[in-house]
Structure 1
Amino acid sequence: MNDSAAPHHRTVYAEDLRIGQTLTLGSYTVSEDEILDFATQWDPQWFHTDKKAAESGVFGGLIGSGVHTLAICQKLVVASIFDRWHVIAGKSMRDVRFLRPLRPGDTLTGELTVDNVVLDNRSRGLVTTTAQLVDSHGNRMFEVVTEAYLHCRQTP
């Protein structure tokens, strides 16, 4: 476990979050080799794995898998935010939207917005968020709504 994920660095509890709060994600640049490697293992469709064939396809070139884009989003959310949150577990992902194809050399950045926080009597809160990624030109690339359980502070 890296230092940023250590439990003593997790300082954000469910009741600390505010509806409408927006948090900045880091950035990530995807390479052609990474697109090919990911797709070969996880989504081996020709427009993700065959550069030459993809050039004559509807997208006019190699594109990354949507699942790869989702994985990049998850990596950015965990590294930028969840490492500081007292996350118990994810509950759901929904409304996953692939708005533009992922291309070699794209740099993705984004933000996460807190949509809802519902505290329950089991010392936890259900936090609903929307994550959005944009490319280096500001074009919206991806978004997803996620629900996750977070710990609440222990009360004496």
Structure 2
Amino acid sequence: MLNRAILMGRLVADPELRQTPNGVSVTAFRIAVNRTYNRELTDWIDIVAWRQQAEFVSKYFQKGSMIVVEGSIQTRNYEDKNGNKRTAVEVVADQVHFAESKNAQRTNSQNFPLPTEMDEPAKGTGFSVGNMDDYEELDTDDGDLPF
């Protein structure tokens, strides 16, 4: 079985670092992620980061920052204030990465309006995976795989 999620989006609010009673760092935050097939729709994904990942997110990211989160989807059941049974779905972050330059992050965290469900996505919010000069062609004429 496989439970893996990789998401890229913008933080909806500043992350807040907390400590468990045992002194373990944790932060919970939400990111806005535009849907690939319908860029007019945005999903709001809850993320939880623990220990060094929590400290990293709290130190270097703020509202509006673009972030890449790698982790697994987790569900948990709880009872709300009115006694209703609820289920929370969140991504537990294994790794988090910057998704834009420092200058873009400073600019966007201050000026970037977060999308609403009907907003058009902001122009230029994608990322580049590099150019073809970064790749080396492998000789695989012998039929062997290169790894």
TM-score (structure 1 length as normaliser): 0.27
Larger radius of gyration: 2
More helix per residue: 1
